[in-house]
């Protein structure tokens, strides 16, 4: 059952976004019952690094089909790596890593260089075909991380990266237009995560390993901030662009409840650092999951 803007719950989610200085879309789904709370859940959104979920899921689906061996090592030269603030993108020397270790870096620290090695190995067409086969027809990649960054800098103009806090420069960015960049919807991202947790993307060894990889993210300032409990596990992937802060992930409770959640936000401010906007992602997610858990505890009839 899908409840879109569900009365007072929808109002509380909207208020959480407003208090954080953002607007947003959200989808939260009980992985086992299918009950869903949505706010603009079918609105197209720019996925940014959240699309690495699609990339890594494709790697493991290909492994399960016997078309790719995730243990295959790649030699990684020091030069010509995708830019980024973490991982291989900031390392100075040549390296040698397996495909699955590159996947771990792409999720754990959102390593753009590691992700682009996977994009190059698998191909955008393979990732898009995998999403289509899973029924995610609105989840589409049009460029890798280097391509996304190059497009953003070209649109920023002569000011370069420093211009990305200038509202006029931000307004020019194609990467903030879902029609021209990697895109999906909040509902489709939760559908993907639900399929991963139900072994519908891949099962057995590869399904278990895929979920383990998706659980290693280092960042806890968005989705996980809404669930500050030692016995609640949050697996997720953030995504960030100028004015945009996102995360999609799975929240697992000790009683067996498990919920796929995707939150995509856009801030009024162009400032690069907005802790309130980050925390708003977790706050909105918590409201939605609490609503699902309350519904699940209601007696039948």
Q: Kindly list the distances between the CA atom of residue 298 and the CA atoms of 29, 142, 281, 293, in Å, as whole numbers in the listed order.
A: 17, 44, 26, 9
- pLDDT per residue over 101-127, tens digit each? 999 999 999 999 999 999 999 999 999
pLDDT at 126: 98
Question: What one-character DSSP code corresponds to residue 300?
Answer: P
pLDDT at 298: 54
User: Using a CB cutoff of 8 Å and minimum separation of 24, what contacts does 125-133 make?
Assistant: 126/58, 126/62, 127/54, 127/55, 127/58, 130/54, 130/57, 130/58, 130/61, 130/62, 131/54, 131/58, 131/192
pLDDT at 7: 76
pLDDT at 296: 66
Q: Kindly list the distances between the CA atom of residue 139 and the CA atoms of 31, 37, 175, 202, 251, in Å, as whole numbers in the listed order.
A: 19, 20, 15, 19, 22
Question: What one-character DSSP code corresponds to residue 185?
Answer: -
Question: What one-character DSSP code corresponds to residue 31?
Answer: T
* 3-state SS, residue 78: coil
pLDDT at 134: 98
Residue recorded with tokens 């505890």: 297
pLDDT at 5: 55
* 3-state SS, residue 252: strand
Please provide the DSSP assignment of 269-298 as one string. ---S--HHHHHHHHHHHHHHHHHHHHHHTS
Do 48 and 246 meet the contact criterion of CB atoms below 8 Å apart? yes
The 10 Å CB-count burial string (b at 16+, else e) for 234-260 is: bbbbbbbbbbbbbbbbbbbeeeebbbb
pLDDT at 3: 47
Q: Kindly list the distances between the CA atom of residue 208 and the CA atoms of 64, 127, 200, 230, in Å, as whole numbers in the listed order.
A: 11, 20, 12, 22
Residues of the chain predicted below pLDDT 50: 1, 3, 299-301
How many other C-beta atoms are found inside a 10 Å radius of the C-beta of residue 135? 12
How many other C-beta atoms are found inside a 10 Å radius of the C-beta of residue 42? 14
For 123, what's the count of Cα atoms within 13 Å in the CB-facing half-sphere? 6
- Distance, in Å, from the CA atom of 300 to the CA atom of 73, rounded to the nearest integer, reads 53
- Distance, in Å, from the CA atom of 50 to the CA atom of 39, rounded to the nearest integer, reads 18
């Amino acid at each position: 059952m899908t409840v879109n803007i569900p009365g007072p719950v929808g109002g509380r989610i909207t208020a959480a976004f407003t208090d954080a200085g953002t607007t947003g879309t959200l989808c939260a789904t009980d992985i086992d019952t299918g009950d869903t709370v949505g706010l603009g859940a079918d609105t197209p959104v720019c996925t940014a690094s959240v699309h690495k979920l699609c990339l890594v899921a494709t790697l493991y689906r290909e492994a399960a089909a016997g078309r790719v061996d995730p243990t295959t090592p790649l030699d990684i030269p020091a030069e010509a790596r995708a830019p980024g603030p973490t991982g291989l993108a900031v390392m100075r020397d040549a390296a040698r890593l397996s495909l699955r270790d590159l996947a771990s870096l792409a999720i754990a620290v959102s390593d753009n260089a590691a992700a682009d090695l996977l994009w190059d190995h698998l191909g955008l067409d393979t990732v898009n075909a995998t999403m289509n086969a899973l029924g995610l027809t609105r989840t589409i990649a049009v460029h890798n991380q280097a391509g996304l960054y190059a497009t953003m800098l070209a649109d920023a103009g002569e000011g370069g990266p420093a211009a990305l806090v200038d509202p006029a420069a931000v307004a020019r960015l194609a990467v903030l237009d879902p029609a021209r960049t990697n895109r999906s919807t909040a509902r489709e991202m939760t559908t993907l995560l639900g399929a991963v947790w139900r072994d519908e993307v891949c099962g057995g060894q590869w399904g278990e390993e895929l979920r383990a990889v998706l659980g290693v993210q280092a960042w806890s300032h968005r989705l996980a901030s809404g669930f500050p409990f030692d016995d609640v596990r949050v697996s997720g992937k953030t995504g960030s662009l100028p004015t945009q802060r996102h995360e999609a992930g799975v929240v697992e409770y000790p009683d067996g409840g498990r919920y796929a959640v995707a939150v995509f936000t856009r801030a009024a401010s162009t400032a690069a650092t907005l802790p309130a906007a980050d925390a708003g992602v977790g706050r909105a997610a918590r409201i939605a999951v609490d609503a699902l858990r309350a519904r699940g505890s209601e007696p039948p009839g």
